[in-house]
Amino acid sequence: MKRIAVLVSGGGTNLQALIDAEHNGLFGENGKITLVIASKPGVYALERAANNDIPSMVIPRKEYPDAASYTKAVTDALLKEKADIVVYAGFMTILDRQITEAFPYKMINVHPALIPSFCGKGYYGLHVHEEALKRGVKLSGATVHFVTEECDGGPIILQKAVEVKNGDTPETLQKRIMEQAEWKILPEAVRLLCEDKVTVKDGIATVKDE
Ligand code: GAR
């Protein structure tokens, strides 16, 4: 059974999708959410963990002077937890290579756009949807990818496209992308990792799911 740690910074709707998936048996005996780590105190994601009896801890980004010291604190916590899979679920803090070296191809992130569009530094949360609407794209969506040293640049595991509609605001587009894409492909990607069905070669991830 793989121990799944989930990193959060906000409302935690993606965490909820993972909790629901686990409760519905999607991971079977292959995976279990054993820890939630929040980068801020008081976020609603922590309540979701508590409501479901999942241990949680806060490692406040504000209490660390730089990315290196913060990354060390998070990496140490995940090593202590013996995490097999680490999921960034709306985790808004960029960590450095200490963590990617400790968990190579064991960490995944959900991004609310079709990478390589609208991604990289500064593209997070509602900003992503603001930029997509400014550019007038007719399709956006979500991507689950491995976390590597390059922000939003790791091998892509799953993507799902979602229509942009006339009159969309960043908020309506975000909601549609969450409902139709993120909350589906994130649990699915975790299932695939739990079942060892994702391989990476030459920077390309391949899903073997027959
Ligand atoms: C989600 O849309 C997630 O894709 C995005 O933030 C939101 C968090 O919502 N993540 C990023 O932008 C990371 N670059 P949640 O806390 O309700 O899951």
- With a cut of 90, say whether residue 210 has pLDDT above it: no
CATH hierarchy code of domain 1-103 = 3.40.50.170
Domain boundaries, the chain: 1-103, 111-142+157-210
180: left (phi over 0), alpha (psi -120 to 50) or beta: alpha
Ligand 1 atom with least separation from CA of 124 = 12
**Which residue from 6, 13, 14 has its CB within 8 A of the most atoms of ligand 1, so it is best to mutate?**
14
Ligand 1 center to 45 CA (angstroms): 12
The stretch 153-178 carries a mean pLDDT of 98
CATH hierarchy code of domain 111-142+157-210 = 3.40.50.170
- With a cut of 90, say whether residue 209 has pLDDT above it: no
Ligand 1 atom with least separation from CA of 152 = 14
Percent of the chain having pLDDT more than 90?
A: 99
- Give ligand 1 pocket residues (Cβ under 6 A): 10-14, 45, 89-90, 110-112, 124-125, 128, 178, 182
Q: Whose CA is nearest to atom 14 of ligand 1?
A: 124
Identify the pLDDT of residue 139: 98
Same fold, 1-103 and 111-142+157-210: yes
The stretch 83-87 carries a mean pLDDT of 98
The residues carrying an active-site annotation are 111
Ligand 1 atom with least separation from CA of 125 = 12
Identify the pLDDT of residue 6: 98
